Amino acid sequence: MSQNQTLFERAQRVIPGGVNSPVRAFRAVGGTPRFITRGSGAYIFDADAKRYIDYIGSWGPMILGHGHPGVLEAVQKAALEGFSFGAPTEREIELAEEILKLVPSMEQVRLVSSGTEATMSAIRLARGATGRSKFIKFEGCYHGHTDSLLVKAGSGLATFGNPTSAGVPAEVAQHTVVLEYNNVAQLEEAFSLYGHELACVIIEPIAGNMNFVRAALPFVKRLRELCTQYGALLVFDEVMTGFRVGLHSAQGHYAQLLPGFKPDISTFGKVIGGGMPLAAFGASREIMKHLAPLGGVYQAGTLSGNPVATACGLATLREIQKPGFFDSLGAKTRQLVEGLKTVAAENGVPFSADCQGGMFGFFLLPELPQNYKTVMTTDCTRFNAFFHGMLDRGVYLAPALYEAGFVSAAHTDDDIAATLDAARRALR
């Protein structure tokens, strides 16, 4: 029995399902989860000492790769100074200033410890600022495991959603309206029905939890117009895309295509913590003044702005601002994606793929899907076989059909060539 199997059996005795986050259990793809012992650059190593080229990157944060020297030095120095104080530190200010410098839509930011905490707080803030209760989310977008966000689409157009998790009361979900991603007509009907009752609309601008599906430009444009018209706040969930798809995040990408575009509230995570538990939400001063201790919207956290986490995040943000960083990262990601397309075509496998910055996704479909319903038509059996074929050949992709992938600055041309060679053999 491998060490991975031994550890998994041991874990299942003391941890539900043997994991502390469900996708890690390999339930979607079958087989035994790999228990990781260490990471170095573009690689991770499991309990059997097998090396993998890592395209998960801790689900996005490891944009520099594992164990970047500059980040490691910053974290070690901070740890020597103290793990946690429960009091303000100067580094919290420095990190906030760095984030705000790169995200012009925000004037103030509040640091928290997780993406779920950030999105939960953003919706509470939107409700407090507008005095309204209802909000819109889109099927296939994941915004953390807050009760009101664990909701799927109802049976009819613009209907209220149904809970997708046990333990979520129907009355909690009654204020959540769930729509189809990239469906302008549905969006317009929902606003005509509920527009003046909506506190906000929350969206992943590039959805990374139905693999990789980007919001179409006409959809984003109309969404912004409707929110402005009806006084609802537009919340961009950039927990995954923030500083991962570009230096100014996904909203910077859309602002280039739609001059003057900006969301009202933004949430961040992953990259801003560099691998440590750290996230944030922010907006204009006018909106943020509703947040305690200034206003009546309460939010607090013992470990918010943790000194070790802020050191890690600050060092990471400073590295990604170096000249040419995103040009290089984007080129590597495109090289991988285009290579995968070529290999799939050689083997006669239906395949489509997309990428932005250091984030990518692929589908065993002839065309890129635009919504969750289409994503669900992907051949799961074939994907699972491909996943294990890649894993056996030392390439670690997300162990689920519905997760995006990530390239780091540490990936080399040789790593990508090895990945494509593994894909060529796995697809055969």
Examine the residue annotation and report whether 194 is marked as an active-site residue of this protein: no
Report the Cα 174 to chain-centroid distance in Å.
25
Work out the average pLDDT over 83-95.
97
Catalytic residue among 270, 332, 354, 415: 270
Residue 233 φ/ψ, nearest 5 degrees = -90, 135
Predicted local distance difference test score (pLDDT) of residue 156? 46
Q: What is the mean pLDDT of residues 90-101?
A: 98
Q: Has residue 170 got a pLDDT over 50? A: yes
User: Do residues 204 and 305 both lie within one domain?
Assistant: yes
Q: Does 145 share its domain with 56?
A: no
Q: Are residues 114 and 57 in the same domain?
A: no
Burial class of residue 42, CB neighbours in 10 A (0-12, 13-18, 19+): buried
Asked which of 268, 291, 320 is the last residue of a domain, the reply is: 320
Query: Tens digit of pLDDT for each residue in 339-397?
Result: 999 999 999 999 999 999 999 999 999 999 999 999 999 989 999 999 999 999 999 99
Specify the DSSP element, H or E, that contains 280: strand 279-283
Task: Please count the other Cβ atoms lying within 10 Å of the Cβ belonging to residue 75.
Answer: 20
- Clarify whether residues 207 and 162 are in a common domain: yes
Q: If we measure between CA atoms, which residue out of 224, 164, 142 comes closest to residue 402?
A: 142
Q: Across the strands, what pairs with 114?
A: none
Q: Are residues 136 and 269 in the same domain?
A: yes
Q: pLDDT tens for residues 250-290?
A: 999 999 999 999 999 999 999 999 999 999 999 999 999 99
Compute CA 358 distance to the chain's CA centroid, rounded to the nearest angstrom.
Answer: 12
Same domain (yes/no): 87, 182 = yes
CATH number at residue 242: 3.40.640.10
- Residue 78: pLDDT over 80: yes
Whole-angstrom CA distances from 77 to 74, 82, 111 are 5, 9, 21
- DSSP 3-state of 267: strand
pLDDT at 151: 84
Tallying the residues shown for the chain, one arrives at 428
Asked whether residue 63 falls in the same domain as residue 74, the answer is no
The question of whether 237 is a catalytic residue gets the answer yes
Q: What is the pLDDT of residue 139?
A: 93
Give the per-residue pLDDT at 155.
44
Average pLDDT, rounded, for the chain: 95
**Cα gap 379→363, rounded to integer Å:** 9
What whole-number percentage of the chain has pLDDT above 90? 91
Q: Are residues 179 and 247 in the same domain?
A: yes
Domain that holds residue 28: 3-67+323-427
**What is the band of 307 on the pLDDT scale with cuts at 50, 70, 90?**
very high
DSSP conformational letter for 205: S
- Separation of alpha carbons 315 and 74, rounded Å: 7
Answer whether 126's CB lies under 8 Å from 291's CB: no
Residue 157 has pLDDT above 60, yes or no: no
Q: For residue 1, what pLDDT is reported?
A: 81
Give CA–CA dist 59/169, Å, rounded.
29
Mean pLDDT for the stretch of residues 84-105 = 98
Confidence of residue 154 (pLDDT cuts 50, 70, 90): low
134 is catalytic: no
* Same domain assignment for residues 184 and 102: yes
Domain boundary among 271, 294, 320: 320
Q: Look at residue 153 in the predicted model and tell me its pLDDT.
A: 59
Query: Active-site residue among 46, 237, 354, 415?
Result: 237
Residues 137 and 265 grouped into a single domain: yes
User: Domain total for the chain?
Assistant: 2
C-alpha 23/C-alpha 399 separation (Å) is 7
Last residue of a domain, one of 291, 320, 349: 320
Catalytic residue among 43, 52, 142, 194: 142
Q: Residue 111, SS3?
A: strand
pLDDT at 158: 43
User: Tokens 């209907």 belong to which residue?
Assistant: 159
